Amino acid sequence: MAKCDKCSNQSKFFLPYGPHKYCNKHFNSFFEKRFKKTIRKYKMLSKNEVIVVGVSGGKDSMVLLHLLEKFYSKEQTIKALSIDEGIPNYRNKAIKVALKEIKKRNIEFKLVSFKKKLGKTMVDVMKKTGRNKTIGSTCSYCGPFRRKLLNETAVEMNATKIATGHNLDDEVQSIAMNFFDNDLKRMARLGAITKGSKGFIPRIKPLYLAPEKEIIAYASLNKINHFSEECCPFSWQAKRNAFRTMLNEMETKFPGTFYSILSFFENLKPSIQKKEKTTFCKKCNTLSSGTLCSACLKLEKIN
């Protein structure tokens, strides 16, 4: 059996894109170093920030919370926020796991629900979208609603940053989908960090350079509790799943593909980033590219 690149122990992890071979201990330090490097590289944090972590209860957000607590809780204030979309037998279970973990860590926590804030659960949305194909898929409602509540509540929690658990695979899937779909505008909105503006808290993705497989391994090695049911029961996500499968196959054939696509995007970003005209939503006064923000537009559609 091959040895670890860093010590004489047997390697337990083979990362073909390096290639790297690591024992448990050195995989852990490799993973954590990259996490800290990502935060430095993209200038995600200044001093004395109030970081609100979007916590779904899944592996990504639980690992994110763990790492921010482990390395940044002395200098920064870390808080957690969960959004209950009202997806029975799924989000309630995930939030239970998240809550248990958050209580252990003794950090400020807030739970907000679609039901209370918007008057609709995702079940209500699905009842409308299921019958009426012209108003868009169920999933197209969940994202804007979640982002709206995340921002609004983070403002109430005095956040200076919102941190989300998006990983390398998520980002590369989004970049590739925009490439295949010819959507430069959407592609320009991706990236490790989104600048804030009036009423809009900047967002950071500290796991932006972490492959999904390694997050799973890290969670398991460090016994980080998380809700591990794969998919939301409302979402087939046929398109994203096809891209996930295709990209994983290409990464297996050509290791390093994910990082290469990410670099392509980062090289490209400065030339495609146009200043989008922004104004404020007439209904909720949030930053918007039109008269109504996408969440309020979606709310009108199902009301």
Q: Which residues in this chain contact its own copies in the complex, by CB under 8 A? A: 179-184, 239, 242, 246, 249-250, 253-254, 257, 260-261, 263-264, 267-268, 271-272
Least distance to its own copies, CB of residue 237, Å: 14
Shortest gap between Cβ of 180 and its own copies (angstroms)? 6
137's CB contacts (< 8 A; 6+ apart) are 129
Q: Are strands 161-163 and 279-280 parallel, antiparallel or unpaired?
A: unpaired
CB of 242 to its own copies, least distance (A): 6
268 vs 297, beta carbon nearer its own copies: 268
Output the smallest distance, CB 264 to its own copies, in A. 4
User: Which residues have C-beta within 8 Å of that of residue 283, sequence separation ≥ 6?
Assistant: 292, 293, 296
Taking the least distance from each CB to its own copies, the nearer of 150 and 261 is 261
Closest approach, Cβ 4 to its own copies, in A, equals: 29
55 vs 192 by CB, closer to its own copies: 192
Q: Which CB, 7 or 242, lies closer to its own copies?
A: 242
Nearer to its own copies, 126 or 175 (CB): 175
Select 10 or 180, whichever has its Cβ closest to its own copies.
180
Q: How far apart are CA 239 and CA 174, in angstroms?
A: 11
CB of 277 to its own copies, least distance (A): 19
Whether residue 16 is preceded by a cis peptide bond, meaning omega within 30 degrees of 0, is no
Of 158 and 263, which CB lies nearer to its own copies in the complex structure? 263
Cβ closest to its own copies, residue 184 vs residue 193:
184
Question: Least Å distance between CB 182 and its own copies?
Answer: 4
Structure tokens at 33: 């170093």
In the complex, minimum distance from the CB of residue 212 to its own copies, in angstroms, rounded to a whole number: 18
